[in-house]
């Protein structure tokens, strides 16, 4: 069931998104060689709680962190650990979800640790561009297939592949709501987008093949071919004026694009 949000509810999600942006920007600043992923997790949890919010991932289906911290060939759900020390040249994807006053915000980014290779930098850039190509399709009357097809096409043109086992999702009072937002699809097919929909759009892109395996911890998903991955996610709302608002990017306006 898809729950449409009224402007008051979207305002609450905007508040949650603003805090999440501040948390993730702080975590981004802490990324450097020698830092453990547990340190990033501890920082995120502290900032979330200081803002009177709750880390949604912590204890979600037993997940033991406030962020997911996934390195190199790890796509998503990397469990923070003091043993995982960031090394120069690594790619780290940080995915964080928080709950403020009953409303969720979900966002992820990939950053380089110190100096990274040209190809790794390109992967980050293309993944972010995939998000923007997708979100530009998130206008009233378009369909979810338009969103997924735009994301997939941009990844392919650049020689990368879209992860197919995980998707974006509706979001609101729950972290995961209907519909699933696939990062591939057929233009003109799928659910029609309506005012009041709130979605997490989150391309996950691999340099090589998209097939995944799950680690023995039951969480961490990595590519079978060990190709490196990037992830970029924002929570968006399809608003009155018909344009998507990026709730986890406060102050963003389309005029600036
Ligand atoms: N933030 C993730 C998403 O984008 C979900 C987190 S899974 C958890 O959907 F287990 F870490 F909570
Ligand atoms: Co997320
Ligand atoms: Co999400």
What's the 3-state SS for the chain?
CCCCCCHHHHHHHHHHHHHHHHHHHHHHHHCCCCCEHHHHHHHHHHHHHHCCCEECCCCHHHCCCCEEEEECCEEECCCCCCCCECCCCCEEEEEEEEEECCEEEEEEEEEECCCCCHHHHHHHHHHHHHHHHHHCCCCCCCEHHHHHHHHHHHHHHCCCEECCCCCEEECCCCCCEEEEECCCCCCCCCCECCCCCEEEECCEEECCCCCEEECCCCCCEEECCCCCEEECEEEEEECCCCCEEECCCCCCCHHHC
**Strand 244-246 relative to strand 91-100, pairing:** unpaired
User: Which ligand 1 atom sits nearest the alpha carbon of residue 95?
Assistant: 1
Assess if residue 169 is contained within a domain: yes
Assess if residue 102 is contained within a domain: yes
Cβ neighbours of 156 (radius 10 Å): 12
Identify the domain containing residue 162 by its residue range: 7-246
Assess if residue 89 is contained within a domain: yes
For residue 126, report the distance from its CA to the centre of ligand 2, in Å: 18
For residue 66, report the distance from its CA to the centre of ligand 2, in Å: 11
Among 45, 77, 166, 232, name the best residue to mutate to test ligand 1's pocket (greatest count of ligand atoms within 8 A of Cβ): 77
**Strand 54-55 relative to strand 67-71, pairing:** unpaired
Q: Do residues 196 and 6 touch, judged by C-beta distance below 8 A?
A: yes
Assess if residue 86 is contained within a domain: yes
User: Which ligand 1 atom sits nearest the alpha carbon of residue 106?
Assistant: 1
**pTM listed for this prediction:** 0.98
pLDDT tens, the chain, 257 aa long: 999 999 999 999 999 999 999 999 999 999 999 999 999 999 999 999 999 999 999 999 999 999 999 999 999 999 999 999 999 999 999 999 999 999 999 999 999 999 999 999 999 999 999 999 999 999 999 999 999 999 999 999 999 999 999 999 999 999 999 999 999 999 999 999 999 999 999 999 999 999 999 999 999 999 999 999 999 999 999 997 878 999 999 999 998 66
Assess if residue 1 is contained within a domain: no
Among 66, 97, 172, 218, name the best residue to mutate to test ligand 1's pocket (greatest count of ligand atoms within 8 A of Cβ): 97
Residue 135, strand partner residues: none
63 lines ligand 1 (CB under 6 A): yes
User: Which ligand 1 atom sits nearest the alpha carbon of residue 58?
Assistant: 12
CA separation for the pair 2, 20 (Å, rounded): 24
User: What is the model's pLDDT at position 5?
Assistant: 98
User: What is the model's pLDDT at position 203?
Assistant: 99
Assess if residue 84 is contained within a domain: yes
User: Which ligand 1 atom sits nearest the alpha carbon of residue 219?
Assistant: 10
User: What is the model's pLDDT at position 257?
Assistant: 66
Give the strands of the sheet with 212-214, arranged side by side: 74-76, 221-223, 212-214
Which residue's CA is minimally distant from atom 7 of ligand 1? Answer: 57
User: What is the model's pLDDT at position 241?
Assistant: 85
106 lines ligand 1 (CB under 6 A): yes
202 lines ligand 1 (CB under 6 A): yes
Give me the number of domains the chain comprises.
1
CA separation for the pair 56, 104 (Å, rounded): 8
For residue 69, report the distance from its CA to the centre of ligand 1, in Å: 11
Which residue's CA is minimally distant from atom 6 of ligand 1? Answer: 57
For residue 231, report the distance from its CA to the centre of ligand 2, in Å: 9
Assess if residue 254 is contained within a domain: no
Assess if residue 118 is contained within a domain: yes
Q: Which ligand is nearest to the CA of 64?
A: 1
CA dihedral 22, 23, 29, 34 (to 10 degrees): 180
CATH number for 29: 3.90.230.10
């Amino acid at each position: 069931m898809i729950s449409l949000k009224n402007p008051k509810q979207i305002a609450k999600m905007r508040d949650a998104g603003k805090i999440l942006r501040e948390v993730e920007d702080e975590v981004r600043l802490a990324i450097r060689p020698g830092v453990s992923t547990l340190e990033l997790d501890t920082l995120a949890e502290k900032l979330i709680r200081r803002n009177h919010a709750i880390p949604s991932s912590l204890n979600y289906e037993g997940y033991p962190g406030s962020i997911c911290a996934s390195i190199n060939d790890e796509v998503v759900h990397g469990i923070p650990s003091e043993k995982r020390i960031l090394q120069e040249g690594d790619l780290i994807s940080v995915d964080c979800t928080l709950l403020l006053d009953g409303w969720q915000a979900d966002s992820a980014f990939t950053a380089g640790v110190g100096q990274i290779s040209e190809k790794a930098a390109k992967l980050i850039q293309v993944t972010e561009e995939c998000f923007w190509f997708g979100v530009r399709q998130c206008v009233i009357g378009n369909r979810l297939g338009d969103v997924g097809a735009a994301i997939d096409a941009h990844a392919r043109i650049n020689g990368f592949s879209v992860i197919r086992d995980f998707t974006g999702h509706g979001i609101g009072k729950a972290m995961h709501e209907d519909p699933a937002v696939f990062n591939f699809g057929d233009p003109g097919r799928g659910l029609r987008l309506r005012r009041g929909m709130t979605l997490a759009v989150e391309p996950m892109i691999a340099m090589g093949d998209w097939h995944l395996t799950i680690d023995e911890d039951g969480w961490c998903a990595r590519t079978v071919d060990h190709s490196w991955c990037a992830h970029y996610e924002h929570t968006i709302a399809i608003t009155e004026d018909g344009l998507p608002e990026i709730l986890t990017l406060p102050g963003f306006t389309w005029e600036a694009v």
